[in-house]
Amino acid sequence: MKASIIGATGYAGVELVRLLACHPQVEIATITSESSTGENLAAMYPHLSQRIEQNLESMEQIQDIAAHSDVIFIALPHGHAMKIAKVLHDSPVKIVDLGGDYRFHDTKVFEQWYKVKHEDPDAKAVYGLTELYREQVAKAKLVANPGCYTTCSILALVPLFQAKLIETTNVIVDAKSGTTGAGRSLKAGSMYCQVNENFHAYGVATHRHTPEIEQIYSEFAQEEVIIQFTPHLLPADRGILATCYANLKPGVTAQEINVAYHAMYDGEYFIRLRGQGVCPEIKHVRASNYVDIGWQLDYRTNRIIAMSALDNLVKGAAGQAVQNMNVMFGLEEQAGLKQLPIYP
């Protein structure tokens, strides 16, 4: 198969290159960058030397790129993918969008939180959290790859919403991300002197992943779920840790919680249930497509504290995109993604 990456020089884009270069059934066809057109990607990222000696192209001829591709990954900020996918409506190429353009059932929610008019509201996109929507992804032409905070937070509590073991009110998601989650463009808030030996919250009560998490929670709870979501910036390159608090329904036992997690995730290759009393760590999932989930019950406050950890560039972006591609094309779901985490 031939895969092309639109926006190959961002952190998620170059991580896609790394993963696809090791995929046994994929050839990288075209890689693009509007700011670095004509440059060799390995010159920009020496870790790819002698493996990806490929020049970056412009996406101006997107229809030609699509004609020579089986799948296109769009690794660009929000607002770009909807323009590209709209042009390619009639093309047989399949698309995985790593941005936020197609993640919402209601485009008005996108417009409200992203402050951009949606230019492709009639697109039939599937939300690409593979563990939850595998059957839909398998039939999809356009997949919306979930956000990194979103994937981590959703997987932590969805089994309990589905089993109706937790209340749908007063849900709190407290999450932390490595600095690569802020992207590669220069920003004062992600400079070394700002991040090193520092730790702070941002986007309080306004972060765009909030309605995305609520959308999936509500779907599995079968009623509206409103959350308090607060992200934080870690002085680390990679990783997301989400600590999620929810009130238990009366009489819920530890055994029922354990059964709910295993009922949903047993057999899921990339989800590692660490169990009650275990606190996952971002170092244990680094550079892998795994998600580690642990939990603890606090009967004093009548809450469950569910904790999940993943690599924001792999399961939170590029790895999940490759996982979706595998399902879309009927390949082994783990193909190109079996790497163990690196440690330390």
User: Residue 244 catalytic?
Assistant: no
Alpha helix positions (H), the chain: 11-20, 41-44, 62-67, 81-87, 107-114, 130-138, 148-162, 192-195, 209-221, 254-265, 319-328
Calpha distance 266→246 (Å, rounded): 22
Calpha distance 307→152 (Å, rounded): 9
Dihedral sign, CA of 228, 229, 234, 239? positive
Calpha distance 85→90 (Å, rounded): 9
Residue 234, token pair as written in the block:
């870690």
What is the residue-wise DSSP string for 271-289? Answer: EEEEEET----GGGSTTSS
Residue 185, token pair as written in the block:
């463009």
Three-point CA angle 320, 323, 326, nearest 5°: 155
Calpha distance 340→313 (Å, rounded): 15
| Annotated catalytic residue, options 148, 152, 244, 279 | 148
Tell me which amino acid residue 217 is: Y
- Enumerate the β-bridge partners of residue 40: 55
Calpha distance 196→236 (Å, rounded): 8
Query: How many CB atoms are located within 10 Å of the residue 23 CB?
Result: 18
Coil, strand or helix at 147: coil
Residues 6+ apart with CB under 8 A from 270: 131, 289, 290, 291, 315, 323, 334, 337
Query: Which residues are annotated as catalytic?
Result: 148
